[in-house]
Amino acid sequence: MPRKPLEVDSPLEFLAILDEEGLVDESLEPKLSQDLLLKLYRFMVLGRRFDERMLQLQRQGRIGTFAPIKGQEASQLGAVAALEPRDWMVPCFRETAAQLWRGTPMESVLLYFGGFDEGGRIPEGQKDLPVAIPVASQLLHAVGLAWAAKYRKTDEVAMTFFGDGATSEGDFHEALNFAAVYQTPTVFVCQNNQWAISIPRSKQTRSRTLAQKALAYEMPGIQVDGNDVLAVYTAAKEAVDRARSGGGPTFIECVTYRMAMHTTADDPSRYRSEEEVAQWARKDPIIRFEKYLIAKGLLDSKAIEAMALEADSAIQQAVKRYEELSQTLGDPLQMFDHHFEQLPAHLLEQREELRRYLKEEEEETRHA
């Protein structure tokens, strides 16, 4: 009986183009237009400053808990920049920068995390799915969209985002298996930010990389420096082009780090050290990209300051619109409006019971 090594191809690579000092490997540098480079930088700055403003609003009790993105701007924007408007973007709950890039207004993000369902409404013509809170459930939705695109013989691609923790869920494996078997045009973007809430990656899986999980499903996989927007864009563009041309799915592992908390409901100082955060802060994706653009003569101190002011002004206007809109929304009875053309008897009864309850509450409040 034979005992010999299995013939398993291992084409996995690690890709980095821009180092921590902003120095570029010219042999790998993608040929991007000046407009696209500056747009990427503008949205990285906007995403970071919006994130910081949201944290202030949450601490002031003006929105609810949310998942900060600080440190993951390159992973999100480098990936989503490879998509066309006709493609699908399927986020989890930490893709604020990607959502803004695709056209979601900032006030919609604020409304969602302010507790208003209306914030989850996708603008007309924008092919994105709403935020998905259950871990990994959105991967199946993305594969379904990609399968539908292939079935209808369109050239649409579906890109989905998830964290390292999602790779331990059953939905992750079902999604990759289906996508590989049926060769759906799906791009799986894993933002490996090192922590699944308070569990380090080393205690979550024995795999040396997450990208190697692609091998089990016979699909291309690649690990990239997730704080290098040029590397992420290059890997995502190759994956999107392959998917669009009928080459099937790709799994991309972006090695990055969330410099803030998992969500505003937890305290990361209880499970990780300040030294670890400081080590990753030196790999900040915005700082290295800024150095790169300055070296190319596309940015200077005046332009940097102007973009920051532009972002702050846009954020302030969005906060104002959010607070104005929030005064006109939020009637609990609206939850009954969009499920049935004609409400069944038991829901009519529930709506009336809630209406009476709210009326009584209002009367009680009025009379102190």
DSSP one-letter string for 50-62:
HHHHHHHHHHTTS
Q: Is 271 a catalytic residue?
A: yes
Query: Which amino acid would we find at residue 68?
Result: P
Distance CA 197, CA 195 (A): 6
Using DSSP's 3-state secondary structure scheme, residue 76 falls into helix
Distance CA 274, CA 26 (A): 34
Query: Which amino acid would we find at residue 317?
Result: Q
* Terminal-to-terminal C-alpha distance of the chain: 86
| Best CA proximity match to 246, nearest among 157, 356, 367 | 157
Distance CA 93, CA 86 (A): 22
Query: Which amino acid would we find at residue 106?
Result: M
Which one from 201, 262, 292, 322 is the annotated catalytic residue? 262
Distance CA 326, CA 61 (A): 14
Q: Is 258 a catalytic residue?
A: yes
Unique residue bearing structure tokens 């013509």: 125
Which one from 86, 121, 151, 271 is the annotated catalytic residue? 271
Q: How many residues does the chain have?
A: 368
Distance CA 235, CA 233 (A): 6
| Best CA proximity match to 301, nearest among 291, 310, 311 | 291
Which one from 258, 288, 292, 322 is the annotated catalytic residue? 258
CB–CB of 74/289 below 8 Å? yes
Q: Is 270 a catalytic residue?
A: no
CB–CB of 256/227 below 8 Å? yes
Which residues are marked as active site?
258, 262, 271
